[in-house]
């Protein structure tokens, strides 16, 4: 764990392009938005939420495909 996580009220902001919540270090605020876009293109989703320790948990969901 390296931070306090993302407050639930700010998850949508964190998933937008440029949605940097922590500006104390380098970055452009693109990472989570890119991940969400890629998952969406494959019919999946990214959910961000708190854990019991106060950190953040990221849940990636992708549909099963039949071969």
For residue range 2-28, what is the model confidence (pLDDT) as tens digits? Answer: 667 788 888 888 888 988 887 778 888
- Report the pLDDT value the prediction gives residue 38, as an integer from 0 to 100: 95
| Torsion sign, CA atoms 20, 3, 55, 8 | negative
Tokens of 24: 């104390």
Of residues 47 and 20, more confidence is placed in: 47
- ∠35-42-59 over CA atoms, to 5°? 50
- ∠21-29-37 over CA atoms, to 5°? 120
Contact predicate 61/48, CB 8 Å:
no
Q: pLDDT-based confidence at 34, cuts 50/70/90?
A: very high
Coil/strand/helix, residue 47: strand
- Report the pLDDT value the prediction gives residue 47, as an integer from 0 to 100: 92
- Report the pLDDT value the prediction gives residue 30, as an integer from 0 to 100: 87
């Amino acid at each position: 764990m390296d931070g306090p996580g993302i407050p639930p009220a700010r998850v949508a902001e964190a998933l937008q392009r440029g949605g940097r919540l922590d500006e104390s270090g380098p970055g452009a605020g693109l990472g989570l938005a890119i991940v969400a876009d890629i998952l969406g293109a494959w019919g999946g989703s990214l959910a961000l939420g708190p854990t019991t320790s106060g950190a953040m948990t990221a849940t990636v969901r992708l549909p099963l495909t039949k071969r």
